[in-house]
């Protein structure tokens, strides 16, 4: 079944052309402080998640908006953000995918004290990698991120990348009541936590239901996709146009054409696509979320106006490399087995005789990693690695659900099944389907205490979290 596309007048149409599009697309207020900090106020607000002609939904947002303002910084520059907590509860910001100093990672009780209401915290660090990143709350994540506390972070390459447009698309799903309110009654649902996490049936791109993106024929568009959902794995398909994958999880990949222009993003994943607008003027192509129940068109690339050039551009060079480790020392690697277990239909829950109902007991631990259920900051570290050591982690998923395993402070390679060869890209979050095993490898080159956890936030909060130490 195909969801009907709203009439054009109800769709949001991007104004402007060229590289100005990104800043026109999302709020980017100038909230500077005298000392060079970008002030980011976390507070309640409202967002028109269902479109301009529907009543807004109450949210929590950075500067009150969903998504929060797009932050831009150039690689090698210092990011300075002052988080001001104007929420009724404590919060923090995690800079997802950034290989930053440990004290700036924004993990409560592991790298910093939570920021109390009325208090502020200064995040300040040099950004090592160019690419598409995002920031979000890491405190009571399943609620705070679901209320809207997330935003995009674009780290620009040292020299401008040769594209005609650069568009950030942050995707989310929401569980709304019939009146359009965020369904707060089902926050911390035990049922969600024990199953696939909180899934919503209302989809948004940049905080609205759909987006029209006017393009000119033969333009090259860089689409920066971010999956900001709590738990939804998003299979995406671009109609009628080729999608060249240039980067995944912020890091440049060896470019490749996505087969049938399909790409699946787990919670937390990003992808940078180059798309050449090869359709004739007047034609359009949709970016579709292939949900099990319906195909949901999220974005329409609408070709209009005079062509940008007579023919599409040639094959692009790869994005400039970031300073990632070039080799790994597998013979001397620290090898860790990290089986993922628990959840509904698991022996763990059968033994405990849990009766799924409403409300997660704060002590509910229904998922385990290597036999341990943890908040990710209590208990001993999962392992300790000397700085510079190669670490290989095997994660057999022995549960009935997929998991999106996220590593803090490092990017990793996804290893082949038969040997230690790897896929031609880096990741910071990998989706592991049920009853499958993923093996990842990274160089533990960033000192500190780092989390590894499921980015399905309801799983993270019910045990599927751990931390490790690089000394
Ligand atoms: Cu999970």
Gap from CA of 63 to ligand 1 centroid (Å): 30
Residue 12 has pLDDT above 70, yes or no: no
Query: Is there a contact between 116 and 124 (Cβ–Cβ < 8 Å)?
Result: no
Gap from CA of 128 to ligand 1 centroid (Å): 29
Of 198, 324, 186, 308, give the one whose Cα is nearest residue 252. Answer: 324
Please compute the mean of the pLDDT values over residues 28-54 and round it to a whole number. 86
The pair of three-digit structure tokens given for residue 431, joined into one six-digit string: 């989706």
373 and 249 in a common domain: no
Q: Percent of the chain beyond pLDDT 70? A: 90
Who wins on pLDDT, 20 or 259?
259
Q: How many independent structural domains does the chain possess?
A: 2
Query: What is the dihedral sign for C-alpha 419, 327, 248, 339?
Result: positive
351 and 292 in a common domain: no
Gap from CA of 99 to ligand 1 centroid (Å): 23
267 and 119 in a common domain: yes
226 and 108 in a common domain: yes
Please compute the mean of the pLDDT values over residues 384-409 and round it to a whole number. 98
Gap from CA of 402 to ligand 1 centroid (Å): 6
297 and 338 in a common domain: no
Asked if the structure places residue 314 within a domain, the reply is no
Residue 91 carries which DSSP code? B
Gap from CA of 331 to ligand 1 centroid (Å): 30
Residue 353 has pLDDT above 80, yes or no: no
The pair of three-digit structure tokens given for residue 196, joined into one six-digit string: 């696939």
The distance of Cα 8 from the centroid of its chain, to the nearest Å, equals 29
Q: What is the DSSP string of 358-393?
A: SS--TT---EEETTB---SSSSS-S-EE-TTEEEEE
Q: What is the dihedral of CA 67, 218, 155, 20, to 10 degrees?
A: -60
**How far apart, in Å, are the Cα atoms of 289 and each of 205, 210, 231, 424?**
11, 11, 15, 25
Who wins on pLDDT, 245 or 4?
245
Gap from CA of 404 to ligand 1 centroid (Å): 6
Query: Is there a contact between 369 and 465 (Cβ–Cβ < 8 Å)?
Result: yes
| 152 membership: H or E segment, kind and range | strand 150-156
Asked if the structure places residue 82 within a domain, the reply is yes
Phi, psi of 50 (to 5 degrees): -100, 10
* Cα–Cα dist 320/234, whole Å: 27
Please compute the mean of the pLDDT values over residues 304-311 and round it to a whole number. 95
What residues make up the domain containing 85? 8-303
128 and 246 in a common domain: yes
The pair of three-digit structure tokens given for residue 178, joined into one six-digit string: 């019939």
Asked if the structure places residue 313 within a domain, the reply is no
Asked if the structure places residue 321 within a domain, the reply is no
Gap from CA of 199 to ligand 1 centroid (Å): 13
Asked if the structure places residue 312 within a domain, the reply is no
445 and 344 in a common domain: yes
pLDDT tens track for 76-96:
999 999 999 999 999 999 999
151 and 236 in a common domain: yes
Query: Is there a contact between 98 and 185 (Cβ–Cβ < 8 Å)?
Result: no
299 and 396 in a common domain: no
pLDDT averaged over every residue in the chain: 91
Of 167, 267, 265, give the one whose Cα is nearest residue 220. Answer: 167
Asked if the structure places residue 329 within a domain, the reply is no
Asked if the structure places residue 317 within a domain, the reply is no
Residue 4 has pLDDT above 90, yes or no: no
What is residue 24's predicted lDDT score, i.e. its pLDDT?
36
The pair of three-digit structure tokens given for residue 173, joined into one six-digit string: 């799903």
Pairing mode, strands 131-137 and 93-96: antiparallel
Gap from CA of 438 to ligand 1 centroid (Å): 14
Gap from CA of 59 to ligand 1 centroid (Å): 25
Sheet holding 270-276, edge to edge: 202-205, 165-174, 220-227, 270-276, 243-248, 251-257
Gap from CA of 455 to ligand 1 centroid (Å): 6
Gap from CA of 370 to ligand 1 centroid (Å): 14
Split at pLDDT 50, 70, 90, the class of 352 is low
* Cα–Cα dist 340/374, whole Å: 12
Query: Which of 16-20, 335-339, 442-446, 466-470 shows the lowest per-residue confidence on average (mean pLDDT)?
Result: 16-20
Gap from CA of 333 to ligand 1 centroid (Å): 26
With a cut of 0.90, is the ipTM above it?
A: no
- On the question of a cis peptide bond just before residue 67, with omega within 30 degrees of 0, the verdict is yes
Alpha helix ranges (H) inside 259-401: 347-352
Gap from CA of 260 to ligand 1 centroid (Å): 28
- Give the CATH number for residue 121: 2.60.40.420
Gap from CA of 406 to ligand 1 centroid (Å): 10
Residue 400 has pLDDT above 90, yes or no: yes
Residue 5 carries which DSSP code? P
295 and 339 in a common domain: no
What is residue 470's predicted lDDT score, i.e. its pLDDT?
98
**How far apart, in Å, are the Cα atoms of 2 and each of 211, 212, 213, 251, 291?**
17, 18, 20, 34, 10
pLDDT tens track for 271-296:
999 999 999 999 999 999 998 888 99
Asked if the structure places residue 87 within a domain, the reply is yes
Residue 29 has pLDDT above 50, yes or no: no
Pairing mode, strands 234-238 and 262-265: antiparallel
Gap from CA of 228 to ligand 1 centroid (Å): 15
């Amino acid at each position: 079944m195909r969801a009907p596309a709203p009439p054009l007048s109800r769709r949001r149409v991007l104004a402007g052309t060229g590289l100005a599009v990104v800043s026109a697309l999302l709020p980017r207020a100038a909230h500077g402080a005298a000392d060079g900090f970008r002030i980011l106020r976390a507070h309640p607000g409202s967002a028109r998640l269902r479109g301009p002609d529907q009543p807004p939904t109450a949210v929590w947002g950075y500067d009150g908006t969903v998504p929060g303002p797009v932050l831009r910084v150039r690689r090698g520059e210092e990011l300075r953000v002052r988080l001001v907590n104007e929420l009724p509860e404590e919060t923090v910001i995690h800079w997802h995918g950034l290989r930053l100093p440990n004290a700036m990672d924004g993990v409560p009780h592991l790298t910093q004290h939570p920021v109390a209401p009325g208090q502020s915290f200064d995040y300040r660090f040099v950004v090592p990698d160019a690419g598409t990143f995002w920031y979000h709350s890491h405190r009571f994540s399943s609620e705070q991120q679901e209320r809207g506390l997330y935003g995009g972070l674009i780290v620009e390459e040292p020299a401008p990348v040769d594209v005609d447009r650069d568009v950030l698309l942050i995707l989310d799903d929401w569980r709304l009541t019939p009146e359009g309110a965020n369904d707060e009654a089902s926050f911390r649902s035990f049922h969600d936590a024990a199953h696939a996490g909180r899934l919503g049936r209302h989809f948004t791109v940049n905080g609205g239901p759909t987006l029209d993106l006017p393009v000119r024929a033969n333009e090259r568009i860089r689409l920066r996709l971010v999956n900001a959902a709590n738990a939804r794995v998003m299979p995406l398909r671009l109609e009628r146009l080729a999608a060249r994958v240039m980067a995944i999880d912020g890091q440049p990949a060896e470019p490749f054409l996505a087969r049938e222009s399909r790409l699946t993003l787990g919670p937390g994943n990003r992808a940078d696509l180059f798309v050449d607008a090869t359709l004739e003027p007047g034609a359009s192509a949709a970016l579709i979320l292939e949900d099990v129940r319906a195909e949901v068109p999220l974005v329409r690339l609408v070709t209009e106006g005079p062509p940008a050039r007579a023919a599409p551009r040639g094959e692009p060079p790869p994005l400039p490399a970031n300073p990632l480790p070039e080799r790994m020392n597998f013979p001397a690697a620290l090898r860790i087995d990290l089986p993922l277990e628990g959840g509904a239909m698991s022996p763990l829950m059968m033994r405990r005789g849990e009766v799924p109902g409403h409300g997660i007991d704060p002590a509910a631990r229904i998922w385990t990693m290597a036999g341990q259920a943890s908040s990710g900051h209590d208990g001993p570290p999962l392992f300790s690695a000397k700085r510079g050591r190669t670490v290989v982690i095997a994660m057999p998923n022995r549960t009935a659900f997929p998991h999106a395993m996220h590593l803090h402070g490092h990017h990793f390679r996804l290893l082949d099944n038969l040997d230690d060869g790897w896929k031609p890209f880096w990741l910071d979050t990998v989706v592991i389907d049920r009853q499958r095993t993923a093996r990842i490898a990274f160089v533990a080159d960033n000192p500190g205490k780092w989390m590894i956890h499921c980015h399905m936030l309801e799983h993270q909060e019910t045990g599927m979290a751990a931390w490790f130490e690089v000394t």
